Chains A and B, each alone.
Chain A
Amino acid sequence: MTTSDTPVEARDSEVVQRDRVVIRFAGDSGDGMQLTGDRFTSETANFGNDLSTLPNFPAEIRAPAGTLPGVSSFQLHFANYDILTPGDRPDVLVAMNPAALKANIKDLPHGGVLIVNTDEFTKRNLTKVGYESNPLEDDSLEPYAVHGVAMATLTRGALEETGLSKKDAERAKNMFALGLLSWMYHRPSESTERFLREKFAKKPEIAEANVLAFKAGHAYGETTEAFAVTYEVAPARLDPGTYRQITGNAALAYGIIAAGRTTSLPVFLGSYPITPASDILHELSRHKSFGVTTFQAEDEISGVGAALGASFGGSLGVTTTSGPGIALKAETVGLAVTLELPLLVIDVQRGGPSTGLPTKTEQADLLQALHGRNGEAPLPVIAPCTPGDCFSAAVEAAAIAVRYRTPVMLLSDGALANGSEPWKIPDVSELPTVDPGFATEPNAPDGSGEFWPYLRDTETLARPWAIPGTPGLEHRVGGLEKADGHGAISYDPDNHDRMVRLRQAKIDGIEVPDLVVDDPDAGPDNAGADLLVIGWGSTYGPINAAARRVRKLGHSVATAHLRHLNPMPANLGEVLRSYRTVLCPEMNLGQLALLLRGEHLVDVKSYTKVAGLPFGAEELQDVFLDYLTGTHPDASRNGSRTGTSNQITGAQA
């Protein structure tokens, strides 16, 4: 949608075709904006658009009503083609009160559509957020296509017959807004009606009120002359398959359940509530029928301790948390490293340090994940790049944990956790399986009939996993250094040196696929672009969206995304050295860039932001262009191109 689409006078609403639209719902924390956004998202998913969402809400459950800190918003980007980000700036802003207007209007481009709930624009509410005059009455909103709608009044009117109190009736105004927008964008509404009836099944009068409000919003758009134009965004032409909408946290929870199947192990989750990871605990606690046990521990340490105890007993131990929890679990994860037992540790990163920004996203736990333990305590680290990818990342992480008898760290983040997208549902029968291969027989090489718990597999260097209850394999493990092979306590200096190196070699030897580079202009033997942009985690969307934009402008840029942060792909160094300039955008102060520079002696450039929000595609486009056109101060100091790689593949779209 562009700025020229401002509605014009017309009796019959005109239908305009759009490739893509970004809508932002903004209101008070208590206005139900997240629910409204979720419902619009579901309708959009049902319609078959590609979509990407960005919920953005305060850490306070109910900040004082009508204030700026209490503003909660939900942005949704949907399109008739595959999209990669929730969108930089909205085409349509729905503002339920003056605070929501004030907090969000700066993001609305001139000419954008602004739909305002006029009922909330009282003198008191305006004063609360520092408006000296009513922006609906002065000329400050002139650059926008403003639609003032008395949503509370209209909702109340629609619910007059229901006998609900004025206050209760007004609470349904978010559904009025949803109905209006659903009409405007030709969204199917059956699923919302069904959802409301299910959600309020125990309070049918509230369900009915919400459905009535939703229908009233729809009818308001249809019958009044206020909105001359409606928009259609055709379904997206995605890969063939069956799709659903999914958030990162839901995908992670399903991935954990699936991992129980693929590893043939019962799942045990030990977890302590923490934003933004709690929803994984909530989701898993609802799926005990899949043999999943969930344990809400007394603290983070207990969560991981119980998970490790379950692993010792032959379960797939899992713990879920965010950065502060990882800090607390560090010692136990170190124990798991030296015990060499499978354990899945999930970090849904949020703004830090300390309590930081609990509801905002960040990628600043990478170094903590890799190095945040005492001693040499290596473990594999894997990072999904989209909400749906959280599923396969969890399945893969569990497979590595079981195959190599090691804790694995999975790094999600707040943007992936709460963001959603269409997800091509995998065929369960095609998920790769791994045999836990419990030890059942004594293994001492001297034929003594003893069991040596640290006698390693020659290929993977994994040790045998003998679970209690197995006769003849009784053994003791612990945090003290163990003798190579035999596993008894050993303080021998050479043995310690050997064991430290063996543990490292085991992790270094984990098989990970080569890094795939998207470089459309690459030849069979040469890189096409001068600039390689490399990222990890949730920056996948904005980096690749920005790359598309830059390519549309006629420039050549390559992108690559690291899923495996430890060990990194074997061809990584070669890839990095194949490009004149390597740029690494991160939502931290350059943690991956530090690793790449340290490991590969390549002068990786860093672009960083820690604002609690994902990068915008436009923002990264400008950064890429600065490097491509040599206007970036760093662009001229780049390293020379030292080689090419036949590992480089063509576009992967």
Chain B
Amino acid sequence: MTATDLGLPGIGSGGLDSVPTTDAKQTAKDYTSDQEVRWCPGCGDYAVLAAVRQFLPTLGIKRENTVFVSGIGCSSRFPYYLNTYGMHSIHGRAPTIATGLATTRPDLSVWVVTGDGDALSIGGNHLIHALRRNVNIKILLFNNRIYGLTKGQYSPTSEVGKVTKSTPMGSLDHPFNPISLALGAEASFVGRALDSDRKSLQAVLQAAAEHRGSALVEIFQDCPIFNDGSFDLLRKPDTKDQRIIPVTHGEPIRFGPADDNGLGTYAVVQNGFGLSVVEAATVDAGDIVTHDATDHELAFALSRLSDQDLNHTITGIFRNQPRHTYDDAARAQVQAARDAEPDADLQTLLNGHDTWTII
């Protein structure tokens, strides 16, 4: 068994290149289905739904060529509320369904809506393989760090010691860092946003849609019933500036209250193989890390800046580095085979090499 040069065409440029466009004006209302939204009052899903309904028309693609596939969990009701094609599938398996759909239908913009339990627990295997294959699907991972639909058990992103219905003495599991996991799974696009920050959420979604390949977007959102205030540190005016680190490709990573030059008071610098946060004034400007979304190692280091404590939380695009997509390559192989054998004849195939005839 030897590797062979695939001889496939180059990387496609944009995630929506093969999706038919429309000049007709579309609005959020066009993308709103007739179904009543049934999340709990105060659920972060509302904010994401509103952001997505507003964002989809800006893509300029035909609504009928948009498909949302979800798994199981509160967030997975998402497709019912969008007037596109949609499938509410089974627990953890949405990436598999999206893979088959995207591979056979390059003319579709395929989105997966999933949660921390759906994507990282029961569906962990499918998530990492979809990312590794780099299928042209966009995965929105709603992370509220709790199981909501089953009424309040800890999830694979819950912090250690979390007291829940199933862990009255505190949970023992060490949580996943979804960004580190996705980067470790060779994801070619990884981003993160906070549900309430519509502007940056839409910016990340826009970049994800335009990326050709798998995109994972982690969206922090609260479950007001079972895990209220989980991301308060990133929301409250007195703490958020110290903790949220927005990154932009090509720009030095500075954050916090603006200094005299309008730049953040804090900066990210290299520290051994990792990164650390310092007061910008204490270091040379040249030592401040400039974000490079094509640098896999930097993306990983950024994802490690904080874990459960939300101490320093990067938002924006960690990684955006196109490479061959599985679905483009799979279609190219089929096309190459057809080109090589344009007269492929079923009867000839059935006959094979050796036949005999009885009269």
Flag if B349 contacts A287 (CB, 8 Å).
yes
Please, could you name 22 A-B residue pairs with CB atoms under 8 Å apart, sorted by A? A243-B358, A244-B350, A244-B354, A257-B349, A268-B104, A287-B337, A288-B334, A289-B338, A290-B346, A295-B99, A298-B126, A302-B93, A305-B96, A309-B96, A317-B100, A332-B90, A425-B350, A471-B63, A475-B85, A476-B79, A489-B35, A489-B80
Give the chain A neighbours of B69 by CB distance below 8 A: 309
Flag if A476 contacts B33 (CB, 8 Å).
yes
Flag if B90 contacts A242 (CB, 8 Å).
no
Quick check: is B260 within 8 A (CB to CB) of the other chain?
Answer: no
Quick check: is B285 within 8 A (CB to CB) of the other chain?
Answer: no
Kindly supply a per-residue 1/0 record for chain A positions 233-256, scoring 1 wherever the CB is within 8 Å of any chain B CB and 0 otherwise.
Answer: 001011111111110000000100
Known: A48-B356, A306-B97, A427-B347; 11 extra A-B contacts, CB below 8 A, are A243-B356, A243-B358, A254-B350, A257-B349, A287-B349, A303-B96, A306-B96, A317-B100, A335-B89, A476-B82, A477-B86
Flag if B90 contacts A254 (CB, 8 Å).
no
Which among B100, B338, B351 is the interface contact of A309 at CB below 8 angstroms?
B100
Give the chain B neighbours of A289 by CB distance below 8 A: 337-338, 340-341, 344
Quick check: is B150 within 8 A (CB to CB) of the other chain?
Answer: no
Known contacts A268-B100, A476-B80; A244/B88 CB under 8 A:
no
Quick check: is A565 within 8 A (CB to CB) of the other chain?
Answer: no
Q: How far is the CB of B271 from chain A (nearest CB, A)?
A: 36
Flag if A309 contacts B88 (CB, 8 Å).
no
Flag if B346 contacts A299 (CB, 8 Å).
no
Quick check: is A46 within 8 A (CB to CB) of the other chain?
Answer: yes
Quick check: is B359 within 8 A (CB to CB) of the other chain?
Answer: yes
Q: How far is the CB of A652 from chain B (nearest CB, A)?
A: 19
Known contacts A313-B104, A489-B80; A243/B350 CB under 8 A:
no
CA distance A239 to B357 in the complex (A): 10
Known contacts A254-B350, A310-B103, A313-B105; A305/B87 CB under 8 A:
no
CA distance A240 to B356 in the complex (A): 10
Kindly supply a per-residue 1/0 record for chain A positions 460-498, scoring 1 wherever the CB is within 8 Å of any chain B CB and 0 otherwise.
Answer: 000000001111111111111000000011000000000
Quick check: is B67 within 8 A (CB to CB) of the other chain?
Answer: yes
Quick check: is A45 within 8 A (CB to CB) of the other chain?
Answer: yes
Quick check: is A292 within 8 A (CB to CB) of the other chain?
Answer: yes
CA distance A42 to B354 in the complex (A): 8
Q: Is the interface of A mostly helix, strand, loop or mixed?
A: mixed
Quick check: is B40 within 8 A (CB to CB) of the other chain?
Answer: no
Q: Which residue on chain B has the smallest CB distance to residue A241?
A: B358
CA distance A489 to B105 in the complex (A): 27
CA distance A56 to B86 in the complex (A): 47
CB neighbors of B among A304-357 (8 A): 304-315, 317, 331-332, 335, 339
Give the chain B neighbours of A372 by CB distance below 8 A: none
Quick check: is A528 within 8 A (CB to CB) of the other chain?
Answer: no
CA distance A359 to B101 in the complex (A): 33
CA distance A473 to B62 in the complex (A): 13
Q: How far is the CB of B213 from chain A (nearest CB, A)?
A: 17
Which among A235, A292, A297, A476 is the interface contact of B87 at CB below 8 angstroms?
A476
Flag if B330 contacts A293 (CB, 8 Å).
yes
CA distance A489 to B347 in the complex (A): 46
Quick check: is B355 within 8 A (CB to CB) of the other chain?
Answer: yes
CB neighbors of A among B86-121 (8 A): 86-91, 93, 95-105, 107-108
Known contacts A45-B356, A478-B79, A478-B80; A298/B346 CB under 8 A:
no
**Chain B: how many interface residues by the 8 Å CB criterion?**
63
CA distance A475 to B125 in the complex (A): 29
Give the chain A neighbours of B276 by CB distance below 8 A: none
CA distance A243 to B358 in the complex (A): 8
Which among B66, B84, B104, B340 is the interface contact of A315 at CB below 8 angstroms?
B104
Flag if B108 contacts A242 (CB, 8 Å).
no
Which among B79, B90, B103 is the interface contact of A293 at CB below 8 angstroms?
B103
Give the chain B neighbours of A314 by CB distance below 8 A: 104-105
Give the chain B neighbours of A308 by CB distance below 8 A: 97, 100
Quick check: is B333 within 8 A (CB to CB) of the other chain?
Answer: yes
Q: Number of contact residues on A: which range applies?
A: 35 or more
Quick check: is A291 within 8 A (CB to CB) of the other chain?
Answer: yes
Q: How far is the CB of B275 from chain A (nearest CB, A)?
A: 32
Give the chain B neighbours of A295 by CB distance below 8 A: 99-100, 103, 330
Flag if A468 contacts B99 (CB, 8 Å).
no
Which among B90, B96, B100, B330 is the interface contact of A479 at CB below 8 angstroms?
B90
Flag if A305 contacts B355 (CB, 8 Å).
no
Known contacts A244-B352, A244-B354, A476-B80; A301/B108 CB under 8 A:
no
Which among B65, B99, B347 is the interface contact of A428 at CB below 8 angstroms?
B347
Q: How far is the CB of B30 from chain A (nearest CB, A)?
A: 10
Kindly supply a per-residue 1/0 record for chain B positions 270-313, scoring 1 wherever the CB is within 8 Å of any chain A CB and 0 otherwise.
Answer: 00000000000000000000000000000000000000000000
Quick check: is B232 within 8 A (CB to CB) of the other chain?
Answer: no
Give the chain A neighbours of B359 by CB distance below 8 A: 240
CB neighbors of B among A37-54 (8 A): 42, 45-46, 48
CA distance A191 to B103 in the complex (A): 40
CB neighbors of A among B69-85 (8 A): 69, 72, 79-80, 82-85
CA distance A238 to B103 in the complex (A): 45
Give the chain B neighbours of A479 by CB distance below 8 A: 72, 88-90
Quick check: is A24 within 8 A (CB to CB) of the other chain?
Answer: no
Which among A246, A270, A288, A313 is the interface contact of B338 at CB below 8 angstroms?
A288
Give the chain B neighbours of A317 by CB distance below 8 A: 100
CA distance A235 to B359 in the complex (A): 12
CA distance A357 to B346 in the complex (A): 35
Q: Which residue on chain A has the smallest CB distance to residue B78?
A: A476
Give the chain A neighbours of B103 by CB distance below 8 A: 268, 293, 295, 306, 310
Known contacts A297-B96, A310-B103; A305/B86 CB under 8 A:
no
Known contacts A302-B96, A309-B96, A476-B88; A428/B334 CB under 8 A:
no
Flag if B358 contacts A237 (CB, 8 Å).
yes
Residue from B62, B86, B104 with most neighbouring chain A CB atoms (10 Å): B104
Known contacts A295-B99, A471-B62, A476-B79; A426/B350 CB under 8 A:
yes
Residue from B20, B331, B338, B358 with most neighbouring chain A CB atoms (10 Å): B358
Flag if B88 contacts A307 (CB, 8 Å).
no
Give the chain A neighbours of B351 by CB distance below 8 A: 242, 244, 425
